[in-house]
Structure 1
Amino acid sequence: MTTEATTPDEIWRNPHAPVADRVSDLVARMTPQEKIAQLQGIWAGIDAAGEMAPHQHEFAVAPQDFAELTRHGIGQLTRVFGTRPIAPDVGAHTLARTQRQIIEASRFGIPAVAHEECLTGLAAWQATVYPSPLCWGATFEPDLVRRMAVRVGDSMRRLGIHQGLAPVLDVARDLRWGRIEETIGEDPHLVGTIGSAYVAGLESAGIVATLKHFAGYSASRAGRNHAPVSIGPREFADVILPPFEMALRTGVRSVMNSYADNDGVPAAADAGLFTDRLRGEYGFTGTVVSDYFSVAFLHKLHGVAAGREDAAALALTAGIDVELPTVDCYGEPLLEGLYFERVDAALVDRALTRVLTQKVELGLLDPGYSPAPGADLDLDDPESRALAREVAERSIVLLQNDGVLPLAGKRLAVVGPRADERGAMMGCYSFPMHVGVHHPDVEMGVEVTTVLEALRADHEVVFALGCPVLGGTDDEIAEAVEAARQADVCVVVLGDKAGLFGNGTSGEGCDATDLRLPGRQEELLEAVLGTGMPVVLVLLSGRPYDLSRQADRLAAVVCGFYPGQEGGPALAGVLSGRVNPSGRLPISFPGAGSSQPSTYLSAPLGKVTEISNVDPTPLFPFGHGLSYAPATWVTAGCEEREWPTDGICTVHVVVRNDLDVPTTEVVQVYLHDPVAEVARPVRQLIGALKVDLTPGQTRTVTARLHADLTSYTGRAGHRQVDAGDVELHVGTSSANIHTALKLTMTGPTRRVGFDRTVTPEFTASS
């Protein structure tokens, strides 16, 4: 080591010096190789890992000497826990040992940032598998999601992990897209509210949250993964961007780019998106990390770069600071571009400054830093499982019920491919379905009770598979029919197998050509309905499916999406009546003759009309959900008749529980703007509050709504609040409105920006 690098009075080593001064001092001391090393990641084991990222094995390289890879330092370590099954204590000590090697191998001894996936809990062996993001949305409970994220973050921090690659803030636009299961829903306000709560929880635990995928990924043509996006700037601004704008206010410290191109410009090469908008307009100061291999994709797939050096230059110019998951374009190609002055050295310093700033803020450059893990490394403790159960129970949606539910005292036939399958509870980014499937000889690592097992605890049950998710035989379906005839009620458990890149019916790279249930599952459902016995359909799926051909013959429909490892007992609790269902749909179920893409956020001509023979009305609308003990709506009203374009409108809703069991209501407030500069959604959510009611209790929900919540992107291309008539539609779903409150917005048209008010103030009093 040089004397310069070990002088005690170096500013960068002083934890009491301003962060900017420490970073500036260190940047000035570094060689080009050392600088570029901080912009790279290493994925140890990529060559032997199962398919976990697009085109992964095209980029896998022969194992290299770790000391050689890290002799100039390294920016990030990719998925120490999430590449293969490894016991938490072994993984934590392996990570600590790796960090010590990195510190000792390089001149400045800068540790790496270790990142992991954490979309349904930490994606590690023996870690609690929480419900999927669609379930988060179905709870309509930001605080519950925040508590879940805190617990996930605590487990990550104890292991020595610094960054979590979640949440996904893509607004669902086309149900055929395989990654619908990773979204929170189809409404930007709900996605932003719930997603921000997850970010706040993760960040409060000391973990760097990462917003995915900035921006437009979910609007790909025909719902095909990575397909081009063709949406206008107004839809982009009013539907795609608001969840990111909301989450950025929480102090989130990282953002990940979208794979897709929008109007021909890939996000990873879009300086207007990442530099002008994200950093300039929104004021973001954290790090931007590339989605896996997306820098190389500029050359390999998009065709906007001539080679790896060109791809690196484009991404750096756009504002991508770190290339994940492993070194490719930000390695020798970038170094060569710097050497021959084909790449601007200032771009490297800009990215490096952001990376080092974050490392300083994480304490990684402090003299007392130690990579030693925490003492408690139990990742699936009773408290975590109890919270996973709570989230699951609060997310289950009762879509339809003719009175057959609850099932108390009834003999059951349970059939279907998802009834007795532990993996049916989990999405594609859960460790068992993401990594564990590549290691069939290794135990799942967490205890999971299937729906069948949970129902057997309370009921006399006969079981028949009926058919697998895909395939099956006539004899299997016949066995299910016979089982149904032996019972009072038949519970049919259908849905998806989560997977990656075609190895499932839902998940990344598992897109659908239509919205019929996969395989022969609809045929199985028809056969069981043909017995004339009451049929309860339970869906464990990554997307809504078209149930329009069977809905009027089903006794009940219950949707669990992917409810996590505690989903079986949670569903059994709802079916038996121990749990009163309180979930609401974060995404619509398609109706007969509907077409995709279609969401409830449609302007008038996007609804049913006389000038098209296609009826897009959903079977079950956004916000819908039933209860065994529905609340009574007493009254809803507004204090004002006029609403200043810079002022507050106050709405009061009184709900009452007239029954002798606890119940829950979700009060939903929608905006209807009958006349605007551009065609606007007929109805759009601007606030919602979930309210629990004890027997006989009356509660008043008060919503203070700022005029900014009515803003939209006008013809001039900026967001504005208009004067004129509006209506607030208050109800229990986007299609079930109890009261329409008419107001007149007064005052001048106002231009608003990133600093606008984005959430209402809710209170609930008894």
Structure 2
Amino acid sequence: MTDSAWRDTTLPIAQRVADLMARMSLREKVAQMYGAWLNVGETPGEVAPHQNDQAPDPIDWPELIRHGLGQMTRLYGSAPVEPLAGARHVADLQRQIIDAGRFGIPAIVHEECLTGLAAWKAPIFPTPLAWGASFDPALVEAMAAHIGATMRRLGIHQGLAPVVDVARDLRWGRVEETIGEDPHLVGTIGAAYVRGLQSAGIVATLKHFVGYSASRAGRNLAPVSIGPRELADVLLPPFEMALRAGAGSVLNNYTDIDGVPVAADPSLLTALLRDRLGFDGTVVSDYFAIAFLESLHGVAADRAEAAAAALRAGIDVELPGVNCYGGPLLKALEAGDVDEALIDRAVERILRQKCELGLLDPGFRPEPDYLADPADLDDPEARTIARRLAERSIVLLRNDSGVLPLRPGTRLAVVGPGAHRPDALFGCYSFPRHVGVHHPGLELGVETPAIVDALGTAFPVSYSLGCPFLGGSDEDIAAAAQAAAAADVCVAVLGDLAGLFGTGTSGEGCDAPDLRLPGRQEELLEALLATGTPVVLVVLAGRPYELSRQVDRLAAVACTFFPGEEGAAALAGVLSGAVNPSGRLPVGFPGAGASQPSTYLAARLGRRSDVSTVDPSPLFPFGHGLAYADAQWGPAALNPADGWATDGEIELTVPLRNPHDREVSTVVQVYAHDPVASVARPVRQLLAAPRVDLAPGESRTLIVTLHADLLSYTGRDGRRIVEPGDVELFVARSSTDVHTEFRVPMVGPPREAGTARRLHPGIILLP
């Protein structure tokens, strides 16, 4: 083939793409709009419901790639694949695709990467809910950069992460995949993940645009019934923050919102995402989401109608394979149901992204770098990041008895279903819990001690199961109580086993009918408390649980949200005192009853009230977390204190000092409340939450600059506004533990903030 302008790397990308598209046939363009799901070696069992129902006929590979191919789906993450074998397979398939098409355009390879690359023998990091508990965007960015570098070495180009849905109902199984219940926290941490992943040359894909986490009754893929203000002010801001961080792709929400499936909604995928927010990357379908328009939503008569609806809405790429964007889309084109200009619109975005990734360059090599340097994926740097993030995400919820930190020589009875299983430390999108469960006897692929083993390196330990995550026997509960009675302290590790669609108690498709501990675990906890031995409860889970009946009798409570491969060592460090706990809750723990899931973002009528017998107050609130040693906070100051312009800034100053002989880490949380507004506003809403590390004896001054944009909200006419009037600001250790309160008048005319508003506070730390 002669040299063409689209191969010239000195030309602007737009010019290269236009040249290539002018040479392509319609069939070659359409081939760029779908993927192929190919497995190496053994075909796994059905990972998800509807997977096999929606699968097309068996792939005729030579015919499929004859006109090119847009994507390849999960070559490493569909079955246990040795990394070296996977890299060879990637290279072989890319060569075949290059050789088959007229233009030799490689395919984008995508994988899941929510808790690290979801591939056998790749490192397994803490879940996103643990990222939120760390309140440490810099550390999350470093983790994502390492994940991205690993993916790039293996010839992968796109990662389906992060999830920037805001948790709305703790019963929803995918709470563990969210970063928390506050949009500022979710957006700050999510944007950090995007920066890290894309710094390695991997396309970050935001999930699930938009509203997925607000499904009715916390049921996965259930309808969503929310107002436009909840969408705009709670669910959308994290996507805005992550898009500004440079995310190159967005994946649609499966559900319908007020009866309209998002996959067929141009008002969301085009008018909002592209026209209003200015996104110019690719929109990829969640797996089978386009076919679901026919089979689950009933808004298309066949796959041709589904393809037409999704394309008009703004979905550029069908994943995981070709169900609707192949023959059915061509059928819709022939029938005149789809404008060919929409094909060009999608393909231009796809080819631009391939150009940015270097896939259209003449020097592209199909061989992943890993083939030249097949070093261990789970390297020392990964272990260091995983340990640090696990340590900083563990939340000490209660410690009134002085049992923690455990004294040297303390005889421990370690009890519970989470204590002896290394895979209990992993989230549902880790390879062992996502794919490995379909391969009995498969090794985890990474070295991961169980919690009982990690504690056993520092203390004399006996272990008793008590009960599994679900079910169990009276005899096992009695045996655990006997073990506890013979010990100085009982450590009970209770909570969840992550999985998908019934293979766990937390995770995608593993929704909860209520927030009581699963199975017989609460019964086990009561039996342990009845022994009189001090009980330290470790909640190892994907969501908070209701502990109000036991909390006053527990010696201490710690919480960790699936902390990954270094989680056991991190937890042992916290319980022993070697690590000073510093995590904060990204979601509140529910209070008594647990039948009314709520978040801290409630307006006044959503709080405790004399007009209802149900108290939604949390047992442990958003932002809560204790430490063995914490910073001293000096008097906070506000400048200016006499007025905050509706288009201006204000500064909060907080002196911090570490009086201890060990490092401390504190999270200074700044909340706001608009007591008189055009619409009902939350009683507390987070504006900033910087984490500050202080060496022994060190003093620093924290300056937080807040722009008035951070107080903007959607008014009655649907426009985002900043209004004059008094504003309450709170410098706090949690959403309920206020250190200093200010009341400042916001002065000036009402102002529309719009989509260009400031989304982040300014953070300065002075010596």
The answer as to 2:23 corresponding to 1:22 is no
Deviation per residue, 1:509-565 (Å, 9 max, x gap): 000000011110000000000011100000111100101111111110010110001
The corresponding residue for 1:667 is 668
Letter in 1 for 2:555: A
The corresponding residue for 2:118 is 123
Query: Offset of 1:61 from its aligned partner?
Result: 4.3
Letter in 2 for 1:247: A
The answer as to 2:603 corresponding to 1:581 is no
Counterpart CA distance in 2 for 1:262 and 1:340 is 29
The corresponding residue for 1:392 is 390
Counterpart CA distance in 1 for 2:48 and 2:103 is 32
Which of 107, 112, 122 is the aligned partner of 2:107?
A: 112
The corresponding residue for 2:405 is 406
Query: Offset of 1:376 from its aligned partner?
Result: 3.2
The corresponding residue for 2:39 is 45
Q: Which moved more, 1:432-441 or 1:370-379?
A: 370-379
Counterpart CA distance in 1 for 2:165 and 2:494 is 26
The answer as to 2:622 corresponding to 1:610 is no
**Number of residue equivalences:** 760
The corresponding residue for 2:737 is 736
Are the aligned partners of 2:55 and 2:323 in contact in 1 as well (CA < 8 Å)? no
The corresponding residue for 1:415 is 415
Query: Offset of 1:340 from its aligned partner?
Result: 2.8
Letter in 1 for 2:505: T
Counterpart CA distance in 1 for 2:406 and 2:236 is 43
Query: Offset of 1:455 from its aligned partner?
Result: 0.3
Counterpart CA distance in 1 for 2:390 and 2:383 is 10
The answer as to 2:626 corresponding to 1:626 is yes
Letter in 2 for 1:168: V
The corresponding residue for 1:217 is 212
SS of the equivalent of 1:156 reads helix
Query: Offset of 1:594 from its aligned partner?
Result: 4.5
The answer as to 2:11 corresponding to 1:12 is no
Kindly report which structure 2 residues correspond to 1:99-178, keeping only aligned pairs within 5 A, or say none. 99-178=94-173
Which of 231, 240, 250 is the aligned partner of 2:235?
A: 240
Query: Offset of 1:17 from its aligned partner?
Result: 1.8
SS of the equivalent of 1:130 reads coil
Counterpart CA distance in 2 for 1:143 and 1:753 is 28
Counterpart CA distance in 2 for 1:605 and 1:594 is 18
Counterpart CA distance in 1 for 2:307 and 2:659 is 64
Counterpart CA distance in 1 for 2:143 and 2:496 is 25
Counterpart CA distance in 2 for 1:694 and 1:21 is 54
Kindly report which structure 2 residues correspond to 1:166-565, keeping only aligned pairs within 5 A, or say none. 166-374=161-369, 375-377=372-374, 378-402=376-400, 403-409=402-408, 410-565=410-565
SS of the equivalent of 2:706 reads strand
Counterpart CA distance in 2 for 1:7 and 1:418 is 62
SS of the equivalent of 2:635 reads strand
The corresponding residue for 2:592 is 592
Are the aligned partners of 2:8 and 2:16 in contact in 1 as well (CA < 8 Å)? yes
Are the aligned partners of 2:528 and 2:535 in contact in 1 as well (CA < 8 Å)? yes
The corresponding residue for 2:651 is 650
Letter in 1 for 2:110: H
Counterpart CA distance in 2 for 1:238 and 1:65 is 47
Query: Offset of 1:62 from its aligned partner?
Result: 4.9
Counterpart CA distance in 1 for 2:128 and 2:441 is 29
Query: Offset of 1:140 from its aligned partner?
Result: 0.4
Kindly report which structure 2 residues correspond to 1:680-691, keeping only aligned pairs within 5 A, or say none. 680-691=681-692
SS of the equivalent of 2:682 reads coil
The corresponding residue for 2:751 is 750
Deviation per residue, 1:569-618 (Å, 9 max, x gap): 00000000000000000000000134433100000010001000000000
Question: Cα distance 1:314–1:80, how it changes in 2: closer, same or farther (>3 A)?
Answer: same
SS of the equivalent of 1:729 reads strand
Are the aligned partners of 1:594 and 1:614 in contact in 2 as well (CA < 8 Å)? no
SS of the equivalent of 1:754 reads coil
Are the aligned partners of 1:548 and 1:591 in contact in 2 as well (CA < 8 Å)? yes
SS of the equivalent of 1:446 reads coil
Counterpart CA distance in 2 for 1:163 and 1:478 is 50
Counterpart CA distance in 2 for 1:62 and 1:571 is 48
Letter in 2 for 1:14: D
Counterpart CA distance in 2 for 1:739 and 1:362 is 49
Deviation per residue, 1:261-288 (Å, 9 max, x gap): 1111111011011111111011111000
Counterpart CA distance in 1 for 2:44 and 2:189 is 32
Are the aligned partners of 2:515 and 2:595 in contact in 1 as well (CA < 8 Å)? no
Counterpart CA distance in 1 for 2:596 and 2:33 is 40
Question: Cα distance 1:640–1:594, how it changes in 2: closer, same or farther (>3 A)?
Answer: farther
Letter in 2 for 1:483: A
Are the aligned partners of 2:546 and 2:593 in contact in 1 as well (CA < 8 Å)? no
The corresponding residue for 1:3 is none
Counterpart CA distance in 2 for 1:681 and 1:171 is 15
Letter in 2 for 1:29: R
Query: Offset of 1:506 from its aligned partner?
Result: 0.5
Counterpart CA distance in 2 for 1:214 and 1:279 is 12
Deviation per residue, 1:321-365 (Å, 9 max, x gap): 000000001011111111232221111111011101111111101
Query: Offset of 1:51 from its aligned partner?
Result: 2.9
Counterpart CA distance in 1 for 2:356 and 2:49 is 32
Q: Which moved more, 1:21-30 or 1:511-520?
A: 21-30
Query: Unaligned stretches of 5+ in structure 2?
Result: none
Letter in 2 for 1:740: E
SS of the equivalent of 1:349 reads helix
Are the aligned partners of 1:635 and 1:655 in contact in 2 as well (CA < 8 Å)? no
SS of the equivalent of 1:635 reads coil
Query: Offset of 1:63 from its aligned partner?
Result: 3.3
SS of the equivalent of 1:335 reads helix
The answer as to 2:65 corresponding to 1:70 is yes
Kindly report which structure 2 residues correspond to 1:54-69, keeping only aligned pairs within 5 A, or say none. 54-69=49-64
Query: Offset of 1:696 from its aligned partner?
Result: 2.2
Letter in 2 for 1:501: F
SS of the equivalent of 1:391 reads helix
Are the aligned partners of 1:290 and 1:320 in contact in 2 as well (CA < 8 Å)? yes
Are the aligned partners of 1:595 and 1:614 in contact in 2 as well (CA < 8 Å)? no
Letter in 2 for 1:336: K
Counterpart CA distance in 2 for 1:626 and 1:29 is 63
TM-score, normalising length from structure 2?
Answer: 0.98
Q: Percent identity?
A: 64
Are the aligned partners of 2:56 and 2:323 in contact in 1 as well (CA < 8 Å)? no
Counterpart CA distance in 2 for 1:482 and 1:197 is 47
Are the aligned partners of 1:164 and 1:208 in contact in 2 as well (CA < 8 Å)? yes
Are the aligned partners of 2:516 and 2:594 in contact in 1 as well (CA < 8 Å)? no
Letter in 2 for 1:694: A
TM-score, normalising length from structure 1?
Answer: 0.98
SS of the equivalent of 1:680 reads coil
Are the aligned partners of 1:53 and 1:292 in contact in 2 as well (CA < 8 Å)? no
Counterpart CA distance in 2 for 1:135 and 1:725 is 35
Counterpart CA distance in 2 for 1:116 and 1:53 is 16
Are the aligned partners of 1:222 and 1:597 in contact in 2 as well (CA < 8 Å)? no
